Amino acid sequence: MKEKILKQVKDSKVKFIKLQFTDILGVMKNINITADQLEKALDNEIMFDGSSIDGFARIEESDMFLYPDLETFLILPTKLSGDVVEARIICDVYNANREPFNGDPRYILKKVVNEVASMGYEINVGPEMEFFMFKLDEQGNPTLNPSDQANYFDLSTTDKAHVVKREMCLILQEMGFEVEAAHHENAPGQHEIAFRYQSALKSADNIMTFKATVKQVAEAHGLYATFMPKPVFGLAGSGMHMNQSLFKDGKNAFYDEKDAIGLSKEAYHYVAGILKHAKGTSLLTNSNINSYKRLVSGYEAPINICWATKNRSPLIRVPASRGNGTRIELRNPDPSCNPYLAFAGVIAAGLDGIKNELIPPTRIEGNTYEFTKEEAKDIEVLPENLKMALNYMLRDELIKETLGEHVVNCLTNATNEEWDNYRKIVTPYETDKYIYL
């Protein structure tokens, strides 16, 4: 594989290679090397200062190594790299002692995926990525003026957003994505591009690549793409529905044709596990202050911890497809999350359900947004804000064990700092409401 990559770089006249990795907060990091340094990189000899990355290493133990995952090597489309040919490789992070860094989100997901394999399964994840595109002001800064005025599934061939989204899909296909569908979402300027499910690790890698690519293409057309969960008050927020399926011996382990709704025991247990740990995983699936502005009643985002097959108001929906297409759809994640940590937490929760043969509550097919207090009295709800989500995570032993002490401490510190800053800020809402009192 190493020799094949070196030959590709030479034959394609690649000049620069981006060595990419993701920090604990879900931000993609990048080290650029020239092509003549590639062999050194493929031998795992590229170092960086871990103390400069939030939550990675203390200054006295800052030397860290990048270990490229050779399967992720990709020569970037010319529309992204311009006249200079570039490539990228996604990397794992190792300590100076050449051991995997326990704060590397990709390593944490890998451990969970290995646990899935030890139980005889393969886990696939298919994300549905929603985002807004806004116009820029005269200084090139993003505004809240949407790129279009369309609505759900509207066909508009005249606005700029249509052209930009079409180019996004073509470039993603060139990068190896199997784009299944692209459509306009509920709010003006809001879009969704869904790509085919992959293994959990590959899917998390794809999400990071997708977000960077969408932003870059939008910028090239004078627009700004954002994965902020709720950028505009009064409009729907952007989600990242997480479709999951387990396979065993090439067959979908969630499917049982003899069951009344076509689900296997594993599927019921897996659903029960996710519901049990839904509060504990919220900090991972909805990781910032703004995430909880989306998780409110009335905008199709879930707030109730329940499941269904025929409506989209509960936390988990089981789409109608059966056979190898059987899957569960978790609806609360948003696209600002760190996909490696979100996947790790949710999958670990599902596995807990299987291991302990947990039984889910009776599924609910009514619109939970319209339930009376009496009808909803036995249904738990997701955390209402970031601070609550942190507290629930710290009470969930399974999630803490999955993440490890280092990541738990880093997330705790970062969340407390964000919450403390947020609670001190005087917002326009407050000045508008109280200035004349």
Q: What is the pLDDT of residue 246?
A: 97
Q: Tell me whether the CATH fold assigned to 2-99 matches the one assigned to 111-424.
A: no
Catalytic residue among 269, 294, 331, 363: 331
The architecture that CATH gives domain 2-99 is Roll (3.10)
What is the token pair recorded at 263? 């689900």
pLDDT at residue 165 tops 70? yes
> CATH assignment of 111-424, given 3.40.50.970, 3.40.630.10, 3.30.590.10, 3.20.20.140?
3.30.590.10
Give catalytic status of residue 219 as yes or no: no
Give catalytic status of residue 185 as yes or no: yes
Give catalytic status of residue 221 as yes or no: no
Give catalytic status of residue 266 as yes or no: no
The pairing of strands 316-317 and 307-308 is: parallel
Please tell me the distance from the alpha carbon of residue 398 to that of residue 281, in angstroms, as a whole number. Answer: 10
Give catalytic status of residue 106 as yes or no: no
Give catalytic status of residue 128 as yes or no: yes
> For residue 103, what are the contacts with CB-CB under 8 A and spacing of at least 6?
24, 55, 56, 57, 93, 404, 406, 407, 410
Please tell me the distance from the alpha carbon of residue 200 to that of residue 344, in angstroms, as a whole number. Answer: 9
Give catalytic status of residue 312 as yes or no: yes
Average model confidence (pLDDT) across the chain: 91
> With contact defined as beta carbons under 8 Å apart, do 204 and 339 qualify?
yes
Give catalytic status of residue 192 as yes or no: yes
Q: Pick the closest to residue 228 from 220, 236, 219, 237 (CA basis).
A: 237
Type of residue numbered 199: S
* Interval 234-281: pLDDT, tens: 898 999 999 999 999 999 999 999 999 999 999 999 999 999 999 999
Please tell me the distance from the alpha carbon of residue 313 to that of residue 365, in angstroms, as a whole number. Answer: 9
Of the two residues 58 and 123, the one the predictor is more confident about is: 123
pTM, rounded to two decimals: 0.94
Catalytic residue among 185, 266, 334, 396: 185
The pairing of strands 16-22 and 86-95 is: parallel
Q: Which pLDDT band, with edges at 50, 70 and 90, does 60 fall under?
A: very low
N-terminal to C-terminal alpha carbon distance within the chain: 70
Catalytic residue among 43, 49, 178, 370: 49
Domain range annotation of the chain: 2-99, 111-424
Give catalytic status of residue 36 as yes or no: no
Q: Which pLDDT band, with edges at 50, 70 and 90, does 70 fall under?
A: very high
Catalytic residue among 23, 128, 256, 266: 128
